[in-house]
């Protein structure tokens, strides 16, 4: 969060605080509220992926309200490289319903893979008239294919397990959990298991691209919807490929440059739009995560205070 403050302050100082203030003075703030609503639609769509993956792993018996709050609580740590901090929801699920973390943690990687697939498809859809667009799509595709090949490779799995089994005592104790996690991950990344989550990802990230379009409209810009989705998707992919918290600095810089150079948006408006869409999609997610976690702690007072499952809960099947 502190890094985010410095990043946005740097952009504001570089582009001119007065110019950005002028652009914000003519902004229609109802557009920001709509953008937040679209971002929330992204979270709800991705929740359906979470439910799909739980069912795929045979994890049943969790009330839908608890499952929704658990999923949303993972957004607390969405400002981590590649959003890997969202594995927090697996810990929450263990503490509230006694589901082993090793079973559900691979869901986070499966989510990221299908997110990248969805984003790449959106980039391809909007890249026809943009130089360099297909290069980003190719980079994302190569990354996804490489990870899928690695997951499906028995040889790579054997090497990984061997490292744990021949390592120090602590590593040897982790070997069974690694084996279980790998098994879950392979279940989640079969071709049949990729289709529905990828379709959901396309829709989810289209909603956030639409949020950028709405914010641009709030400034009076007439950027086409597919162009806005292309800008948002490429910036998101850039932030995901470079391991910095939440893509901070990388996503912002990529988005601002594209808006100005390819979208013919003035620098002040491009910077203002970038900051607003990041608040509507990234930092709003963190706020939603904190609210969901607070509601969960009302239902399960012992949550996050002990490392064991919450007393009195019935283990899920």
Identity of the highest mean pLDDT range in 33-37, 93-97, 114-118, 124-128:
33-37
Over the stretch 268-302, which tens digit does the pLDDT of each residue have? 899 999 989 999 998 999 999 999 999 999 988 87
Q: Is the pLDDT of residue 307 over 60?
A: no
pLDDT of residue 312: 47
Indicate the DSSP class of residue 306. Answer: S
- Please identify which residue in the block is written with the tokens 């969901």: 292
The whole-model pTM stands at: 0.80
**Burial code of 20-50, b = ≥16 C-beta within 10 A, e = fewer?**
beebbeebeeebbebbbebbbbbbebbbebb
Percent share of the chain, pLDDT over 70: 79
Section 202-229 average pLDDT: 93
Which pLDDT score, from 0 to 100, does residue 52 have? Answer: 93
Token representation of residue 170: 């602590």
CA-to-CA dists, residue 134 to 129, 137, 233, 315, angstroms: 10, 5, 12, 47
Residue 305 has, within 13 A of its CA and on its CB side, a CA count of 10
Local confidence band at 79 (pLDDT 50, 70, 90 cut-offs): confident
Residue 161: count other Cβ atoms within 10 Å of its Cβ. Answer: 15
- pLDDT tens by residue, 146-199: 766 666 666 776 676 677 667 777 766 666 666 666 666 666 667 777 888 989
pLDDT for 107:
87
């Amino acid at each position: 969060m502190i890094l985010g403050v410095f990043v946005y302050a740097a952009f504001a100082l570089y582009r001119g605080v007065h110019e950005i203030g002028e652009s914000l003075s003519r902004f229609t703030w109802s557009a920001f509220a709509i953008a937040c609503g679209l971002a929330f639609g992204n979270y709800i769509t991705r929740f359906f992926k979470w439910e799909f993956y739980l069912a795929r792993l045979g994890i049943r018996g969790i009330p839908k309200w608890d499952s929704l709050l658990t999923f949303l609580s993972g957004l607390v740590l969405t400002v981590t490289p590649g959003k890997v901090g969202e594995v927090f929801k697996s810990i929450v699920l263990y503490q509230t319903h006694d589901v082993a973390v090793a079973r559900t943690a691979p869901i986070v990687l499966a989510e990221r893979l299908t997110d990248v697939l969805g984003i790449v498809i959106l980039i391809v859809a909007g890249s026809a008239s943009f130089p360099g667009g297909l290069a980003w799509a190719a980079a994302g595709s190569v990354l996804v294919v490489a990870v899928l090949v690695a997951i499906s490779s028995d040889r790579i799995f054997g090497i990984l397990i061997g490292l744990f089994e021949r390592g120090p005592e602590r590593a040897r104790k982790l070997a069974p959990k690694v084996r279980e996690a790998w098994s879950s991950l392979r279940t989640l990344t079969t071709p049949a298991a990729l289709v529905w989550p990828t379709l959901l990802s396309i829709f989810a990230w289209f909603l956030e691209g639409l949020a950028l379009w709405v914010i641009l409209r709030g400034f009076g810009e007439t950027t086409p919807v597919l162009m806005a989705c292309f800008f948002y998707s490429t910036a998101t992919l850039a932030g995901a490929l470079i391991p910095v918290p939440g893509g901070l600095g990388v996503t912002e810089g990529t988005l601002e440059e594209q808006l100005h150079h390819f979208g013919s948006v003035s620098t002040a408006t491009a910077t203002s739009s970038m900051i607003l869409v990041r608040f509507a999609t990234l930092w709003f997610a963190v706020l939603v995560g904190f609210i969901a976690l607070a509601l969960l702690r009302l239902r399960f007072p012992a949550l996050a205070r002990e490392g064991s499952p919450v007393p009195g809960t019935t283990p899920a099947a």
